[in-house]
Chains A and B, each alone.
Chain A
């Protein structure tokens, strides 16, 4: 790729070339990606994970630098000519793009660090490493792209790499093949929709660079068409209901470091795309855009977390929770668009800020959770929560990382998730108006949706942590678990550290985020607290934490004094209602934990339950055996996709009659086609 010089920037000179810092960092990233691919391809199998892992880390680090520079306001442009005379491939990240490059690179860095300790077997193969490097490279290039062609190429690279990663374990897990197929189909659908949307925009703008696309009016028919197509495409990638169907299949099948990147960063490219549409290409969209995004996000949030709360497979649960989180982000973007269309600027900006806070918060905790889930699977060989338990004592580091990340996912103070939801809630409260009916109706509903989602997220993550890490092991695998290797635990711990850091010092973070989307009215107060002066609200999590510690102090002192007189005494089971602990199977499992919710939301979840009672031969009144079976399938898949697929299948069977192998028939077809073309041309 050759580099065109841009002499008008602060620049570094290389002989004839001059480059500004962003361009230099992007060039370094391109070179490092090529290097990483080469290393992965030629490194001996025994050294592959170290060498390729370090090379990927280097690539991700250069991505963080490039993104950070773009985010701080540096601009740069790398262009490469293609075979077509007017089309250049362009990398030109703006501030928003820079933010998403940083998210993608940071997640990649942690995942690569984790992979050094994690990969083995198929996941350590040459092709898996190449796929991982190309996938994460494409991921970092999507937000760097400055024109449609580059964007779509990077998008496809990302899809292709991740598709191969989903297939990694296909030899041992046949489900991986069907998951990869679902993923491939949905991701191609997403690609086609985005392509069509961009085509609609480009047809009016007459050019393919992002800077040229801004000429399209959001209220025009083309604007509406492009919005619909692009949002559907991006929503598919983001895993929103009802297009989420690939997500709970593909994320669990990919190796955990890949699922972490897919879930924490890749689906976020759908968010980036949506922000491109509503902020960069067609700012000032009409109110119905807001309503569409709000409903899409709200439905996804509730549906996602409801499915997650009753799921027992650890990785599937996390995948559904991704649908929930991305739903919340879309809900916030929708609220922002809606409020902006009624000139409620301050509230609209707060909602947008909340969307970005939710995005980085989700990247941090979901990365850590998926890495932790990978550690659980690696240590126990189990991914079904019903067969886990007692891991807190056996894997203390993983438990700590996982626990903090789960707190972030449940949006409890003082984590990043809490700050994000607080900001969202503030925007709802200060956006209340009686002048616009749609706002007056949408906001309370949104409050209820966010609250229900937060409540269910709490159940989900208490279940996930409580059943997985507390109590007694429910299987031999869980009983034999040991702490995982250093790279694995450190990657998860760093992710959790970010969850806390973002939650304790939200002020500076929010200021950076606000600068990425051109919001000025955000300030830092106290010890890194967040203040939104135009709404007159503030939150200083550090002060909250200090107050909490002050409150806890006397309790700790009294406990310590009491402990000196009476140290804790361990016993088999203090009370047990008079009984003794018999078998770990008598504990509550994840399935039983979710049973009350399953009953309450019976109409939505529609579980299939089967109770078979076998009577003793002596008497009908004696029961020999009771077998209980419960199967939970995604309602949308069963009710929506299956009928559609069956219809397409039938269509395929019918259309087979067109092709009977007879040359005469094919000649007739060509002849008829020719005549039709001639008629059309002559009209």
Chain B
């Protein structure tokens, strides 16, 4: 059991890492097509990564070790999240619970590392991005935890694998008001956590609006490659989680080869659909003013809280 679980986790990490740039590629390509552009193709993020890994890494004078270690920490935290979440299979690692609190904390390690990288250079933009980024991260956390609290009440456990497995066993749960409200709240939180529209515009470099881009402005070469891949991986993993919460079918419940192959294919399909939908959705959205973001997050918090309340009222 120990080794199969480890193998499953490795498979998840591998698949998620390979797919993450493609998910971004699909999102960008969908958006480009809908906006009447040709687009760079869904492989472009992979090409970017290859280019960045081959380039020289520049570093500002007088920065601390955070600037060199930080990108690796970001990448490792994203990989760890991919290993922990039930993406392909509900077989969880022994001793390392895919408890929601653990997953969120691991994500936050990445969040903190990026924020510190932003501050380390000592430029005005880095600090600005870091400050905004942390404000959003702080306000997202109540939504995430309360939403998963609501999801965990029917399952009687905060382990994401058991929550997803419960939904696989009793699909009626998925359409219950509790689950719908909680998943919508969680989805908004995921958008905020991964810096997508309407919270942050990943394709902007306009000083007044950028959040994530401002922090990694001074990174280059492999540092930038890790930061980019880390954030893409985080998006893919969290999208995969939301997808599995909404459409749990296809997920492997044991570690047989066939189930894992089916699980991988199902994950790829779900991610393709979700990435395309995300890209299409972003065409119709504008970035919110920074100080309207708390209102959006408060709204999603209310949804999550309603979900908890509903879980007591509706069986």
Contacts and interface: CB of A to CB of B under 8 A. Distances in A.
A315 B156 CA distance: 42
Q: How large is the interface on B (under 10, 10 to 19, 20 to 34, 35 or more residues)?
A: 35 or more
Nearest to B294: A600
Given A413-B106, A593-B127, A573 B134 contact: no
A472 B221 CA distance: 23
Contact of A470 (B99, B116, B220): B116
Contact of B83 (A430, A455, A547): A547
B209 interface: no
A451 B141 contact: yes
A466 interface: yes
Contacts of B144: 451
Contact of A574 (B59, B66, B131): B59
A281 interface: no
Contacts of A181: none
Contacts of B135: 459, 596-597, 600
Contacts of A399: 64
A331 to B, nearest CB: 14
Given A422-B102, A466-B119, A577-B207, A458 B137 contact: yes
B97 to A, nearest CB: 6
Given A452-B142, A455-B142, A592 B105 contact: no
B214 to A, nearest CB: 9
Given A392-B66, A458-B137, A434 B221 contact: no
Contacts of B142: 447-448, 451-452, 455
Nearest to A551: B79
Contact of B121 (A447, A471, A540): A471
Nearest to B79: A551
Interface string A459-497: 100110111011110000000000000000000000000
B217 A572 contact: no
Contacts of B123: 573, 576-577, 581, 586-587
Main secondary structure of the interface of B (DSSP, over half): helix
Interface in A419-459: 421-422, 425-426, 428-430, 432, 434, 440, 444, 447-448, 450-452, 454-456, 458-459
A183 B291 CA distance: 38
A543 interface: yes
A342 to B, nearest CB: 14
B53 interface: yes
B308 A547 contact: no
Contact of A462 (B116, B140, B145): B116
A559 interface: yes
B152 to A, nearest CB: 5
Interface stretch (A34-42, A105-113, A282-290, A531-539): A531-539
B274 interface: no
Interface string A571-606: 111111100010010111000111111011000000
B149 A444 contact: yes
B57 A569 contact: yes
Contacts of B139: 452, 455, 600
A411 interface: yes
A596 B157 contact: no
A543 B80 CA distance: 12
A675 interface: no
Contacts of A555: 72, 75-76, 79, 226
Contacts of B138: 452, 455-456, 458-459, 597
Nearest to B152: A429
B188 to A, nearest CB: 15
Contacts of B309: 444
Interface in B94-117: 94-97, 99, 101-102, 105-106, 108-109, 111-112, 115-116
Nearest to B136: A596
Given A536-B157, A566-B57, A570-B60, A448 B120 contact: no
Contact of A422 (B93, B99, B140): B99
A600 B149 contact: no
Interface string A395-425: 0000100000000001111000010011001
B169 interface: no
B305 A392 contact: no
Contact of B95 (A543, A563, A566, A597): A543
Contacts of A597: 135, 138
B79 A465 contact: no
B53 A574 contact: no
Nearest to B297: A600
A203 interface: no
Q: Which 10 A-B pairs have the closest CB atoms?
A: A588-B127, A455-B138, A471-B122, A455-B141, A552-B76, A466-B119, A551-B79, A540-B95, A451-B145, A392-B64
Given A462-B112, A592-B128, 6 more contacts: A411-B105, A422-B105, A471-B122, A537-B97, A552-B75, A571-B61
Interface of B: 9, 13, 53-66, 68, 72-73, 75-77, 79-80, 83, 93-97, 99, 101-102, 105-106, 108-109, 111-112, 115-116, 119-128, 130-132, 134-135, 137-142, 144-146, 149-150, 152-153, 156-158, 207, 217-222, 226, 290-291, 294, 301, 305, 308-309, 312
Interface of A: 389-390, 392-393, 399, 410-413, 418, 421-422, 425-426, 428-430, 432, 434, 440, 444, 447-448, 450-452, 454-456, 458-459, 462-463, 465-467, 469-472, 525-526, 529, 536-540, 543-544, 547-548, 551-552, 555-556, 558-559, 562-563, 566, 568-577, 581, 584, 586-588, 592-597, 599-600
13 contacts: A399-B64, A412-B109, A452-B141, A470-B116, A471-B122, A536-B157, A537-B99, A540-B96, A547-B96, A562-B53, A571-B59, A573-B60, A599-B291
